[in-house]
Amino acid sequence: MYKLTLIPGDGIGPEIVDAAKNVIAATSVPVNWEIVNAGLEVYEQEGTLIPENVFESLEKNKIALKGPITTPIGKGFQSINVHFRKKYDLYANIRPVKTLPGIKVPFSNIDLVIFRENTEDLYIGIEKMTTPTTAEATKQISEKGSRRIIKAAFEYAKTNNKSKVAVVHKANIMKLTDGLFLACAREVSKEYPQIQLQEVIVDNMCMQLVMNPAQFEVIVTTNLYGDILSDLCAGLVGGLGLVPGANVGNNMAIFEAVHGSAPDIAGKNIANPTAIILSGAMMLEYLGEKNKSDLICKAVKEVIGQRKYITKDLGGNATTTEMSNAIIDHMLTIKNHINA
Ligand code: NAD
């Protein structure tokens, strides 16, 4: 029995996390969920964003599935997501982006993984007003932080028989910070002579991704570019409702969708549960339950491919519950077929 932490989150979080929990239950992987709450809604009720029991649960269980959490824009508290990533040194934000059958998008052959550095860059939260009319932010890039995410990307490429890794930077302008990241990529790549290093400046990367995304297999980049490119890539495959993610460190892993709390559609049972369900599948693979993870992915593909039970963002009219139930039904059919 796995004891895992479950954080429902804000906005659409509770609806989609519930769907993912039901899908994982249908795999028969034995999970004992410890449900703890963090976020804006907890803050409004309890006056604290992350109650102590959330930290205790994460530190005990080491693996969590997490819903999105709202962060106020331009004021208020630091992002809880950034806080978890920094506190637990979850340095690798891994986001697989794939085209799925049945989704009408310009490219049918996208299959890439983004490795986004998760603890440094402009996300360290050091900003100040240097004069009453000028604001400054600190961008921090370290050799240690850069090497380990780049290494993770190359190791992934090696294990998964990928032939190239693209490092995305803006070292022509930020010669010290992005220059250091690029230099680390060149150094690390020497340990992997069979894998080609593609060096791409971030603005060109945006155009290349929109024109010819299939040329990329693995992308490794700094925190802010990784955040932006993730949403761009999500758009290429049909939207934010489809792309899962993992925040992985040496001692802990938190799995969550790329998208946020989507307040515009919260509480309506219309959010696409795919991204968090696939994040759950990534979690099962991390636990060593590869067959069960594959079962979920296969069922998701079939349900989306058939286009009968898909949510509004994908052009359908199914509710969150109907779509996740259809995924569960497909999983059971696949299981019965295998057992027959
Ligand atoms: P968002 O990702 O929440 O939403 C962007 C757009 O995509 C919206 O139109 C939304 O309806 C749609 N969308 C997102 N997820 C969807 C889904 N599963 N199904 C269908 N449509 C979906 O981004 P935002 O509006 O910029 O941010 C809202 C809040 O979420 C902010 O407070 C932000 O800080 C937070 N956020 C949290 C995380 C996280 O917890 N990891 C990540 C990103 C943003």
Q: Whose CA is nearest to atom 38 of ligand 1?
A: 260
**Ligand 1: centre distance to CA 235 (Å):** 13
Other Cβ atoms within 10 Å of 312 Cβ, number: 15
Q: Domain of 86?
A: 1-105+238-340
* CB of 275 closer than 6 angstroms to any ligand 1 atom: yes
Same domain (yes/no): 60, 37: yes
The answer to whether 151 and 184 are in contact (CB under 8 A) is no
Same domain (yes/no): 227, 165: yes
Around 69, how many Cα atoms within 13 Å sit in the side-chain half-sphere? Answer: 25
Question: What are the phi and psi torsion angles at 318 (to 5°)?
Answer: -75, 155
212 occurs within a structural domain = yes
Q: Whose CA is nearest to atom 22 of ligand 1?
A: 241
Copy the structure tokens of residue 202: 């971030």
Residue with the two structure tokens 């594959």:
294
Beta pairing class for 63-66 and 31-35: unpaired
Q: Which residues fall within 8 angstroms of residue 88, CB to CB, at 6 or more apart?
A: 58, 249, 251, 252, 254
**Ligand 1: centre distance to CA 257 (Å):** 9
**Ligand 1: centre distance to CA 265 (Å):** 10
Other Cβ atoms within 10 Å of 249 Cβ, number: 18
Question: How does pLDDT run along the chain (340 residues), one tens digit per residue?
Answer: 999 999 999 999 999 999 999 999 999 999 999 999 999 889 888 888 899 999 999 999 999 999 999 887 766 667 888 889 999 999 999 999 999 999 999 999 999 999 999 999 999 989 999 999 999 999 999 999 999 999 999 999 999 999 999 999 999 999 999 999 999 999 999 999 999 999 999 999 999 999 999 999 999 999 999 999 999 999 999 999 999 999 999 999 999 999 999 999 999 999 999 999 999 999 999 999 999 999 999 999 999 999 999 999 999 999 999 999 999 999 999 977 776 6
Cα 320 to Cα 126: distance, rounded to the nearest angstrom? 39
Q: Whose CA is nearest to atom 31 of ligand 1?
A: 70
DSSP class per residue in 289-336? -HHHHHHHHHHHHHHHHHTSS--GGGT----HHHHHHHHHHHHHHHHH
The closest of 107, 100, 109, 105 to 304, measured between CA atoms, is 100
* CB of 319 closer than 6 angstroms to any ligand 1 atom: no
Question: What are the phi and psi torsion angles at 31 (to 5°)?
Answer: -125, 130
Same domain (yes/no): 121, 227: yes
Same domain (yes/no): 162, 243: no
Among residues 236, 268, 300, the one where a domain terminates is 236
* CB of 69 closer than 6 angstroms to any ligand 1 atom: yes
Residue-level pLDDT at 41: 85
Among residues 236, 251, 285, the one where a domain terminates is 236
The answer to whether 88 and 60 are in contact (CB under 8 A) is no
Q: Whose CA is nearest to atom 4 of ligand 1?
A: 262
**Global confidence as pTM:** 0.95
178 occurs within a structural domain = yes
